Amino acid sequence: MSMKKRALGASGIEVGVLGMGCWQFGGGKGSYWGEQSQSDVDEVVHKALDAGMNYFDTAEVYNDGDSEIALGIALKGRRHQAVIGSKISTSNTRSSVLRAHCEASLKRLQTDYIDLYMLHWPLSPLAVKHFTKDAGLIENPPQVPEVFDTLHALQKEGKIRHIGLSNHGVMQMKEVQATGVPVVANELAYNLLSRAIEASILPYCVESKVGIIGYMPLLQGLLTGKYATIDELGPMQSRTRHFHHSRGEGTRHGEEGAEAEIHRALREIRQLADELGVHMAVLSLAWAAANEAVSTTIVGSRNIAQLDLNIQGAVYELSLDILTRLNEMTEPVLHKLGDNPDYYENRFNSRTC
């Protein structure tokens, strides 16, 4: 079965319902995801393209630019088949700095243009401080009109084809749209246990013809069945509001989490996967890919075995009954965590609004 494609907002670009998250690309000892060989990257990228996965999502901050370098190497000779999305850090958006960083990304990617260039987080002090220690910049981040004027100029020059957002809520999207600069995508966390965008952001994106790029569809491995319980998660994987604030390393949210609801949902999802005779990761990815409002769902693949499993999720068809059952299983988690999709911050002091 071939992979479905969907429109990326109003861009005119079509992307496979499953895309490639490239954060692990270029990784080395001590990086977030650990070491990643270039040979595996090359193999995964080529097989992904052959399978209809044409969207590749990276960022200047991923492994200090090495993700972009690794992706650029892997796409040699096949750049024309790929849709590249990269992201500018919120701290690097003063006009001259933004220009320099865009040029640096182009150089690392070995390309003349980036298909989708996204603002990684909104322009707020809380978001900026996660990218820099510059107190002046944190206190007075660049203003939305200045940043999007620069992005629009880069678009007119052909260095970027389309402009996008990442982790923006409805109010923040409206502020950007007020500049008159068209944006075609918003990248947001979305999985069976992270459904916050369904309340208002997803409907607003549909109304505005802004494509949604879903990330973290397997919740850092929790939805793959790899872990028997959440107690097996490492501290770096349990920093979100899903878990009690005492559990994760460097946790900021200060909330109680939804651990009881998650334990119950995971047990029921696992039982359903066994009933259907499919891998839990396939079922979880199929649920994310089934939402027609989501242009593409990005997932990392470190090797061919992982890629093959992920592709199964992209082509596995879920009946309406199974979708309904999955939604009912995870509704208590959605209710407990609320409708703010910034899962790393307290819902009442969030980077996304």
Query: What are the boundaries of each domain within the chain?
Result: 5-220+286-317
Residues 6+ apart with CB under 8 A from 150: 93, 95, 98, 99
pLDDT of 313 reads 95
| Residue-level pLDDT at 243 | 96
Beta bridge partners of 233: none
Distances (CA, A) of 22 to 100, 122, 146: 22, 21, 29
Lowest mean pLDDT: which of 25-34, 269-278, 308-317?
Answer: 25-34
Instruction: Write down how long the chain is.
Output: 353
pLDDT band at 28 (very low <50, low <70, confident <90, very high): confident
Work out the pLDDT band at 234, boundaries 50, 70, 90: confident
Residue 333 token pair: 């988690």
Average pLDDT over residues 338-352: 96
CB 220: neighbour CB atoms within 10 A? Answer: 20
Say if residues 67 and 25 touch (Cβ distance below 8 Å): yes
Read off the pLDDT band of 35 (50, 70, 90). confident
pLDDT, mean of residues 82-91:
98
Select the CATH number that applies to the domain covering 5-220+286-317 from these four: 3.20.20.100, 3.40.50.740, 1.10.3720.10, 3.40.50.150: 3.20.20.100
Question: How much of the chain, in percent, has pLDDT values that exceed 70?
Answer: 99
State the DSSP H helix or E strand holding residue 57, giving kind and residue range, or none if neither: strand 55-57
Tell me which of 32 and 278 has the higher pLDDT.
Answer: 278
Q: Which residues pair with 114 in a beta bridge?
A: 160
pLDDT in the model for residue 161: 98
Listed in sequence order, the residues at least 6 apart from 236 whose beta carbon sits closer than 8 Å to its beta carbon are 32, 248, 249
The 10s digit of each residue's pLDDT in 160-202 is 999 999 999 999 999 999 999 999 999 999 999 999 999 999 9
Q: Which pLDDT does position 29 carry in this prediction?
A: 62
Amino acid identity of residue 97, one-letter, is V
* pLDDT (average), residues 203-208: 98
Measured torsion, CA atoms of residues 165, 168, 174, 178, in degrees rounded to the nearest 10: -40
Average pLDDT, the chain: 95
* C-beta separation of 200 from 170 below 8 A: yes
Nearest 5°: the CA angle 296, 107, 83 is 20
- Residue 67 has, within 13 A of its CA and on its CB side, a CA count of 25
Residue 269 clears pLDDT 80, i.e. is over it: yes
Confidence of residue 249 (pLDDT cuts 50, 70, 90): confident
Check pLDDT > 80 for residue 31. no
What gap in Å lies between CA 8 and CA 56, rounded to an integer? 13
Q: Are 310 and 285 in contact (CB under 8 A)?
A: yes
Quote the CA–CA distance of 337 and 353 in Å, as a whole number: 15
